[in-house]
Structures are given as C-alpha cells and as structure tokens.
Amino acid sequence: MAKKWQTKITLNTKEETYIRGYPLTQMIGKLTFSESIYLLLKGKLPTENERRMFDAIFTSVIDHGVAPPSVVALRNVISGGNQLHVGVAAGVLAFGEYHGGALEDAMRFFQEYAKDEEDIYGLAERIAKKAVEEKWRISGYGHKYYKEFDPRSKKLLDLAKELGFYGKHCEFAVSLEDAIEKIKGKKLVLNVDGAIAAITSDMGFDYRLGKGFFIIGRIPGLVAHAFEELTEGVIFRRLDEEAEIEYLGNPPREL
C-alpha cells in the first residue's frame, strides 16, 4: 500500500539526506548553488555549460530596484512592523501575470508553437501576421525603456549560442521579433523574460517551471531589500494623502 506522501526529490534518513539520490554531505563544497538547483529541478547533475547558463539566467533577474510591485509590497509590509521573512513572502506574493508571470507564459507560447515545427522562420512570419491583425499581447516582448534591444537578452542569447543552447525556441523568439517589426514598422523587443523563456525551453524545461525560475533568481534581491528596510527603512510607510491621493467619491455629506 502506497504511503500518504510520495516524492522523487529528497530522502531523509537518520544518517543522511539524499538529494535526487546524492548525499547532501557530498554535495556541500562540491556543487555550486546553481548546480544544486539544476539537480533539484531536473533530477540530474548539470554539465559545465548548463551550470554556466543557469548562473547567467539567475544573475540576469536578481534585482530590478525599488520600483517593482514586489519590492514596494515588501517594504510596506516590513514598515508595518513585520520581520524579514514576512516581507520576502509579501514580495513573492506580489508576483503575477504582469510581474514575473511573463516568463511562464512565454515558455508556454514558444513550446506550443515551435514544438514540432521545422520551418521556424515561416512560422514566425505566420504568427507575427496573426498577432498584429488580432492584436495579441505576447508575453516576453516589449519593454518600458529598451526600444532597440534589451541588453540582458542579447547577453543571454549570445551566451546560449556559445554554450549550445540556442535551438529552435531561441530561433523562433528572435525571428518573431524581426517578423513583427517588418509588419508593424516598429520594434517590439524580445525582453529578458522572453530570452530566458526561449533558452530554458531549449534546455528542455517544462513551461510550468517558468515562474519558479523568476522566483529563484529574484529571492536574493528581495532579501537584500527586506534587510535594508529593516535596518534603514521608515517605520509605518504611508502615502501623502494631499500630494499622492485623489478622492473621486461623493463629497462630504450629512447622513
């Protein structure tokens, strides 16, 4: 009879903890953090190139300043008198469709369309035409500041070529960027989420891990912001009601 909980990830005994079958005590000092993450997610040890690609991916999303919703939420929660882990949890809970979710959506999109396609360039032209005509919102494209190219995407894609992870998903992602520009006459850049989505797809990862990649990469940044808020932040952050809030409801009135 099967036990209540089943897992293929970790075995704990009185003597040792085994991660995907490898003794944790042997991993310590031998595997890098990225190698250990790869082992957990993929179930096998990474090659040197896979480790380098993972390192680059996680570094590319490690932090993006105070402005994103996750950091604003985190700092506000800590300013209310909460501890570091509560603030970090609030930051993670702020991830959604428009913040962190694009990676998973882009992975699903690339994997759905490029899965069995041989003519990647023809596919990109067909999808671009349909997307422009029907006004699709395609995750992984567009950026508030980068209008010609996203330098993070370029760096990651160049490295993917060097390390052997530039396959049909990367080709499709870049070709779609070019095809949309030809049709619209305006560039919609492949952003860092789109680049990571294409590369991890070519590395053989399931799209349902997309948000996980973003969370893993961004957690160090959230911890740093949480610590800064704890040690240097403002107690009880609140908006300036006169300068920052516009009331649009009924004027004051008698009940």
Mind listing the pLDDT tens digit for each residue in 136-192?
Answer: 999 999 988 888 899 999 999 999 999 999 999 999 999 999 999 999 888 999 999
Residue in this structure with the two tokens 């961004």, named with its chain if needed: 218
Question: How far apart (Å, rounded) are the C-alpha atoms in residues 190 and 175?
Answer: 10
3-state secondary structure of 118: coil
**What is the percent of the chain where pLDDT is above 70?**
100
Identify the helix (H) or strand (E) that includes residue 18: strand 17-19
Residues of the chain with CATH 1.10.230.10: 58-237
Q: Given this model, what pLDDT does residue 115 score?
A: 81
Could you report the per-residue pLDDT of 195-223, keeping only the tens digit for each?
A: 999 999 999 999 999 999 999 999 999 99
Q: Given this model, what pLDDT does residue 146 score?
A: 85
Does domain 58-237 fall under CATH 1.25.60.10? My reply is no
Q: Given this model, what pLDDT does residue 69 score?
A: 96
DSSP H stretches of helix in the chain: 24-27, 33-42, 48-60, 69-79, 84-93, 102-114, 120-134, 151-163, 168-184, 192-202, 210-232, 241-244
Q: Given this model, what pLDDT does residue 127 score?
A: 94
Residue in this structure with the two tokens 């508030």, named with its chain if needed: 144
Q: Please give the mean pLDDT across all residues of the chain.
A: 95
Could you report the per-residue pLDDT of 59-109, keeping only the tens digit for each?
A: 999 999 999 999 999 999 999 999 999 999 999 999 998 899 999 999 999
Question: How far apart (Å, rounded) are the C-alpha atoms in residues 75 and 72?
Answer: 5
Average pLDDT, stretch 25-46? 98
Strand 22-23, strand 17-19: pairing: antiparallel
Structure tokens at 139: 């995750």
Q: Given this model, what pLDDT does residue 27 score?
A: 98
| Encoded amino acid at 213, one letter | F
Average pLDDT, stretch 223-227? 98
Q: Are 36 and 58 in contact (CB under 8 A)?
A: no
Using only C-alpha atoms, the chain has a radius of gyration, in whole angstroms, of 22
Of the pLDDT bands very low, low, confident and very high (cuts 50, 70, 90), residue 118 is confident
